[in-house]
Amino acid sequence: MTSLLLSLFPIAAWLLAGYIVGYLLSPRTVSLLSRAITPFVWIMLFAIGYRFGQQLSVMHQVLLILQTAVLYSVGITLLCSLALLVLFRLAPAYKR
């Protein structure tokens, strides 16, 4: 359980770094980067789904896999939400 929680921190750190870089770059640059990154995200999601499908062939591991997925998703969501809350409170108000 501890190793699972420790594996969340690098993921959260990369997500936080992405938020900070996106905040610092111009909207045009962010738009170009998001269009370039989107195909890689789809490929990564496909690969994760493929691996998950392979793991489902061993049915007694399904509960463990689902528990791990829920823990990852809840942990990352909470950490990123907390980071965004801190970031928006520390950053000056964005004027349009």
Q: Would residue 95 count as lying in a domain?
A: no
Please tell me what DSSP assigns to residue 95.
P
What is the number of other CB atoms lying within 10 angstroms of the CB of residue 12?
Answer: 17
Q: Would residue 96 count as lying in a domain?
A: no
What is the tens place of the pLDDT at every residue in 31-83? 888 888 888 888 888 888 887 777 666 666 777 778 888 888 898 899 888 88
Residue 29: both structure tokens together: 């640059």
Check whether 95 has a pLDDT greater than 60. no
What's the domain count of the chain? 1
pTM of the model: 0.42
Alpha carbon distance 73, 4 (integer Å): 12
Alpha carbon distance 92, 96 (integer Å): 13
User: What domain range is 73 assigned to?
Assistant: 2-90
> What pLDDT does residue 59 have?
67
Task: Return all residues near 72 (Cβ < 8 A) that are at least 6 apart.
Answer: 4, 8, 11
